[in-house]
Structure 1
Amino acid sequence: MSIPAFPAIAAVIAAAGFSRRMGRFKQLLPWGDSTVIRTVVNNLHAAGADPIVCVTGHRADEVAAALDGSPARTVHNPHYTTGEMLTSYQAGIAAIHNSQFTIHNSLFCGSLLVLADQPHISVDIIRQVIAQARSTPDRIVIPSHQMRRGHPIYLPRCLWAELLALPVDASLRQLLNRHSAEIVYVGVDTDAIRRDMDEWGEYEKLRGEFETQ
């Protein structure tokens, strides 16, 4: 295993959902010459995140197969049927915290928390978040556009235990609000950080914009 840049920053992708509103399993939808989930992984890898943990649930075997040969490792979220994204982030952070995927655990400063349906977020934006996180490793880092938060979110290692202790009916937002004074915002010039593809029309629009770039 190669040693990542330091301080090392992991990435946890919440990819366990059912895609109920979409009506199709969005993680495996086409994106460019790849799929949505594999593009998310490739962008994180290009930006320098390591390791990359993709948390699966619904159709886990298919997601794992789609990521075969990619830089990502998969972890199954046994609580994915609750529909709460928090449980996926907890499963991924727990795997990293327990050194399941890396011999460099003591050198981590934190992890990106990533949505599985944002393949349109550029490598450059992810790099900006990572750069800020390395400058302020004990602070939460969130990209923002016109004073509105987006993803990916950097959660410092000093808050991992608090994340893992949250009850299943809690949310990531509660933790962020509790530590609002510790957030560093990275301003970006695109609303891509706030857009996702919960519905088919959103996917078609984002994919169309991507293909015309």
Structure 2
Amino acid sequence: MPSDAVVALVLAAGRARRFGNDKRLAHLPQRGPLLAATLATLRPHFGEIRVVVGIEDDPVHLGIAKDIGTIVAETAEQGMGASLAAGIRMLRDESQAAAVAVMLGDMPWLSEATFALLCSRASDRAIVRPFYRGQGGHPVLFGRCFWGSLEQLTDDEGARSVVRRHRDACIEIEVQDPGVVRDVDRPEDLAWARHSGG
């Protein structure tokens, strides 16, 4: 059953210039565009999904289904922190969720078990982080009492500063899922997926 206690917020406002073109549209075998594939992995687990996009983005062109809400980050060029802050500001008014799962738009390889485990530990006063072989990954689930801090972010650091300030509230979960750390920065990052059919 999809979680109503946790809303998924997908950061997808960046065009990823390092990739060479719009990586959100990069094709995965049997799965379609990268961003759409990531959203498909979230659907079974979250009753609410919101995608943060840039001011010039067309959700239809990006393959975002009509029933998934979008949030426009007008200052997305400032970096991931600005995109996250824009998303949280909108969620504060629109969602009653106890926690938000902050997800990147280029991570379509997480397992169902990982989502279920992370959501089972979520609360309004906890920060839940997955780790794979000691490396921190996504999604990171922030309880509602940390949303005010997330709204203040302005740069490209993302939410690391919020995590550092609230280490006592962090629940770190080691998972056997490389999908929590596997994202796409360059075209070669997709090569293994094409070979494996994933």
TM-score of the superposed pair, with normalisation by structure 2: 0.89
Distance in 2 (alpha carbons) for counterparts of 1:44 and 1:5: 10
**Conservation of the 8 A alpha-carbon contact between 1:141 and 1:184:** yes
Unaligned runs of 5+ in 2: none
- Offset at 1:124? 2.4
Match of 1:78 in 2: 74
- Offset at 1:59? 5.0
SS at match of 1:198: coil
Pair 1:146-2:150 in alignment: no
Q: Deviations over 1:90-141 (max 9, x none)?
A: 1111111112xxxxx34x10110000111112232222211121xx442100
- Identity, in percent, stands at 24
Name the count of aligned residue pairs: 196
Of residues 34, 43, 46 in structure 1, which corresponds to 2:44?
46
Unaligned runs of 5+ in 1: 100-104
- Offset at 1:169? 6.3
TM-score of the superposed pair, with normalisation by structure 1: 0.83
- Offset at 1:53? 0.7
The alignment yields a C-alpha RMSD, in angstroms, of: 2.0
SS at match of 1:50: strand
Change (3 A) 1:72 1:13: same
Match of 1:102 in 2: none
Pair 1:17-2:14 in alignment: yes
Change (3 A) 1:170 1:147: closer
Match of 1:92 in 2: 87
SS at match of 2:115: helix
Of residues 107, 115, 125 in structure 1, which corresponds to 2:114?
125
